[in-house]
Structure 1
Amino acid sequence: MEILLTLFLGQPLWMWLTFLAIVIGLLVLDLGVFNRDDHVIGVAESLKTSALYITLGVAFGGFVWWQLGTEPAAQYLTAFVVEKTLALDNIFVIALIFGFFAIPAAYQHRVLFWGILGVIVLRGIMIGLGATLVEQYHWVLYVFAGFLILTGIKMLFAGGEEVHDLATNPVVRFLKRRLRVTDEIHGHGFTVRRPDPATGKLIRYATPLLLALIVIELADLVFAVDSVPAVFTITTDPYIVYTSNIFAILGLRALYFALSASLRRFAYLKYALSVLLVFIGSKVFVADLMGWDKFPPVWSLGITFAILTAGVAYSLWKTRGDAGSPPPSPETDTASEIR
């Protein structure tokens, strides 16, 4: 039993195993019990599932408080809120990808589920590397902070929404050149065996579901470039960084099916995200100027909530006449380009 007390990335091994057991249990229940059969997930089901994930994520903050104390718990909750909010942009990209590849609503949950497994691994690698860099080279925190400030300023003064043209995306074009892709969806399968037109032998083809999964994973990797440094400026504890990341993403993927129908209502939230990134990045420099060991976690949590609450309220007020408008979607005919 002594091995369970061995420190791994700053915390006892049993704490890491407890977290992983919770995540694995949730994923097994998700696909093996609640979503065993493919079906369209409605808004009500999406909200209930998301509420469950949010409750579990916040409750895990209680576990962090019990084991590590008040300050780490405040850092965890701040990181959890920041990660969930920064990932909102990911929802629009996911909706765009599903539209481009013409993925039926009944199979979208399955793609997102397997995408979570990739996120767990990729985020773990990125956070492990980040923790090693910060431990050996403390000045990397200032690089992270400066990057966040510049990113926030760029988002704040961006002239308009970026145009996402997946048809010309180099990753999509590379996949279409390198993989045999079927013309149609084959149930919820990511691959299917079909006769080779030249030889008649059965060979493995990718389906549009596999392409969508790969592109979503790569998109999440891009978003992680912003989100992971943001959490490292809140805390350098890999355990808090990783657990807050995964709990936030688990809940957000569940919320996708509700938010994707009302993305227009959050059109102005990006300005709050911009201010939030600038605030998170500036905390490192403010703490140094004030002679603090670190920016007070409770203040950080309160200011984060204030910024996001103001952003959500302003966005809902500005779009109050658009409640019945359909969500933005890509041109459906571009889906034929993968055929």
Structure 2
Amino acid sequence: MAETPLAFEIITFVVLALFFIVDLFVIGRRPHVPSTKECVQHIAFFVVMALIFGGCIWFFAGSKPAIEFYSGWLTEYSLSIDNLFVFVIIMSNFAVPKQIQKYVLSIGITIALIFRGIFILIGAALISRFTWVFFLFGAFLIYTAVKLVLGGDEDEEYHENGIIRNLRKIIKITDDYDGEKLRTTKNGVRYWTPMLIVFLTIGTTDVMFAFDSIPAIFGLTKDPFLVFTSNVFALLGLQQLYFLLGALLDKLVYLPAGLSVVLGFIGVKLIMEALHGNTLPFINGGEGVHWVPEVPTWLSLAVIVLAIGGASVASVIKMKSMESAEKA
């Protein structure tokens, strides 16, 4: 497998930085509720860019890393869609005005990118030194998959964590928003606005998202460049996706099931890779269990496409059948 040229990686980071700045801090700072047409155009642009980027990787480095990128991007994108459920609950719980929700999302997505970058660096360092960490990643993903299947009837209300509850007791926080401001003045007294709590809530939630997404992507590729770029492309356009799917998220009833299949498959794949590795002294005298088959890259992509695509199609079919039943 050829490595992506350094010049290509540098150009990629520059272009992605420009995309991110324009997406979040130029378009995202305009306080308005985007139309359906605007959302579709924005999302379509970044989807096409991701497909073209994967083609460039294919050209410069070969088919295997390109398929790894597509697999990682689809997985991270699917997890991001699932995470939008939580964003909807947070926005509703704190009664964030729709006009400033884009701005709140832009900050939340930036925080998510920072946390994912940190976790990617940590994950890459661990994997390069300790092959057994695959067992931990794999077990965690299987646990998460089972939790997704069994957690369908969980309470959909957001509950504040202890840090935020204690923070309310320490500092003065108003009940009303003052545009995008974190601080406001009332009767000559300075207060924090609820925006502070919203940012902290989204930030702590993003940490939990990173715990799910980073082990999943490392189960598909070990290249930090591909891990990072697949995460960035998954986060680009997420604001518009939030508004486009906001009213439909609760109708994508089978998405958690599709995600559980993907995460479970990647978890098993990681454990198989750990068993097959030849750097584990406690497995077959350090030679690994070589009869354990290696999962080909194309199979990972096929499972992801079929699981997520099948869950989406099944959700749409159920949604239409329920609408037909209501009209009857």
- Shorter-chain TM-score tier: 0.7 to 0.9
Gaps of 5+ in 2: 277-288
Name the count of aligned residue pairs: 309
Equivalent residue runs for 1:234-253 within 5 Å: 234-253=220-239
CA displacement at 1:321 relative to structure 2: 4.0
Q: 2:264 pairs with 264, 278, 294, which one?
A: 278
Which residue pairs with 1:5 in the alignment?
none
User: 2:33 aligns to what SS in structure 1?
Assistant: coil
Matched-pair contact (CA < 8 Å) for 2:184–2:193: no
Query: How has the CA–CA distance of structure 1 residues 35 and 89 changed in structure 2, closer, same or farther, with 3 Å as cutoff?
Result: closer
Aligned with residue 255 of structure 2, among 269, 273, 291: 269
Q: Distance in 2 between matches of 1:179 and 1:252?
A: 32
Give the whole-Å Cα distance in 2 for the aligned partners of 1:35 and 1:275. 33
SS of residue paired to 1:245: helix
The reply to whether residue 192 of structure 1 matches residue 178 of structure 2 is no
Looking at structure 2, the residues matched to 32 and 78 of structure 1 have their Cα atoms a distance apart, in angstroms, of 28
Deviation track 1:188-212 (CA, whole Å, cap 9, x = no partner) reads 22x22426x6xx5x64x32222321
Q: CA deviation at 1:285?
A: 4.1
TM-score by length of 1: 0.82
Determine the C-alpha separation between the residues in 2 that align with 1:113 and 1:310. 30
Q: Within 5 A, what are the aligned runs for 1:275-314?
A: 275-286=261-272, 288=276, 291=291, 294-314=294-314
**Displacement after TM superposition at 1:290 (Å):** 7.0
Counterpart secondary structure, 2:236: helix
- The aligned counterpart of 1:98 is 91
Seen in structure 2, the aligned counterparts of structure 1 residues 178 and 56 have a Cα distance that, compared at 3 Å, is farther
Identity of aligned residues (%): 33
Q: CA offset at residue 12 of structure 1?
A: 6.1
How big is the shift at 1:144? 0.7
Query: 1:112-140 deviations in whole A, cap 9, x for unaligned?
Result: 11222222221111000000000000111
Aligned match of 1:26 = 19
Contact 1:262–1:323 (CA<8 Å) still a contact in 2?
A: no
Q: Is the 8 A contact 1:149 1:277 kept in 2?
A: yes
CA contact (8 A) 2:67 2:297 kept: yes
* 1:51 partner letter: A
Q: Which moved more, 1:126-135 or 1:308-317?
A: 308-317
* Residue in structure 2 matched with residue 330 of structure 1 by the alignment: none
- Equivalent residue letter for 2:314: Y
Write the mapping of 1:1-339 to structure 2, written as runs, cut at 5 A.
14-31=7-24, 33-158=26-151, 160-189=152-181, 191-194=182-185, 200=188, 203=190, 205-286=191-272, 288=276, 291=291, 294-322=294-322
SS for the counterpart of 1:227 is helix
Range moving further from structure 2, 214-223 or 102-111: 214-223
Structure 1 residues 100 and 141, CA, compared in 2 at 3 Å: closer, same or farther? same
Q: Which moved more, 1:206-215 or 1:258-267?
A: 206-215
Distance 1:167 1:139, change over 3 A: closer
SS at structure 1 position matched to 2:155: coil
Measure how far apart 1:59 and its partner are: 1.7
1:207-235 alpha-carbon deviations (Å, 9 max, x no partner):
22232122112112101111110111111
Whole-Å separation in 2 of the counterparts to 1:135 and 1:230 = 17
Query: What one-letter code is carried by the residue in structure 2 that aligns with 1:77?
Result: Y
In angstroms, what is the RMSD of aligned CA positions?
2.5
Unaligned runs of 5+ in 1: 1-9, 325-339
Q: 1:27 to 1:322 in 2, by over 3 A?
A: farther
Distance 1:150 1:34 in 2: 38
Deviation at 1:90, TM superposition (A): 1.0
Moved more, 272-281 or 166-175: 166-175
Letter of the aligned partner of 1:306 in structure 2? L
SS at match of 1:301: helix
**Secondary structure, in 3 states, of the residue corresponding to 1:194?**
strand
